Amino acid sequence: MPKQANRALRTNVNQKCRESPSVGPLPKLAATRFRRWKGSVPSDAIAKQMDRCEASATMAYGVMLKSREQLIAMHGDHSHALVEQFTQDLETSAEVLEKLAEMIREASMRIYASAAARLVRGQPFAD
């Protein structure tokens, strides 16, 4: 990797260290320990969960566009069981999305930590 690219990556990692109080200085970030996950989740299972979350997000958007009066009227237009199932689907999707967001943040930190470790070791980055 050219020196300019290495310098740019070092700058990006150092900036991440300054911007995020949870990251800390470069050596601290480089010392971050983590283990790879064991086992796996089939990608089709993840895709199925994402499809359900997409449907719930679309429904949630629709709810957000309704007035208070329209939502009150909904309870008289639809069975309580249907509304309860709808609400449960929204809550389940919110939990799934929170776990996905946590995984994505953790993956980002692992990338920064491994880049910082490489910098601290004085090893260059690939092109």
Locate 50 and state its tokens. Answer: 């994402």
At CB < 8 A and 24+ separation, what contacts does 19-28 make?
23/109, 23/112, 26/116, 26/119, 26/120, 27/116, 27/120
pTM for the model stands at 0.66
Q: Which of 8, 26, 23 is nearest to 118 (CA)?
A: 26
pLDDT computed for residue 1 by the predictor: 46
Helix axes 3-19, 80-120, angle to 10 degrees: 130
Q: How many domains does the chain have?
A: 1
Segment 2-30, tens digit of pLDDT:
555 556 666 666 666 656 555 557 777 78
Is there a domain that residue 61 lies in? yes
127 within some domain: no
Quote the pLDDT of residue 26: 73
Q: What is the structure's pLDDT at 126?
A: 77
Residue 125 lies in a domain: no
Distance, CA of 18 to CA of 26 (rounded, Å): 9
Is residue 97 included in any domain, yes or no?
yes
pLDDT at 13: 67
Regions in the chain scoring below 50 on pLDDT:
1
36 assigned to some structural domain? yes
What domain range includes position 30?
3-120
Handedness of CA 111, 112, 118, 121 (dihedral sign): negative
Kindly state whether residue 66 falls inside one of the protein's structural domains.
yes
For residues 50 and 42, give the distance between their C-alpha atoms in angstroms, rounded to a whole number: 13
Whether residue 126 is contained in a domain is answered as no
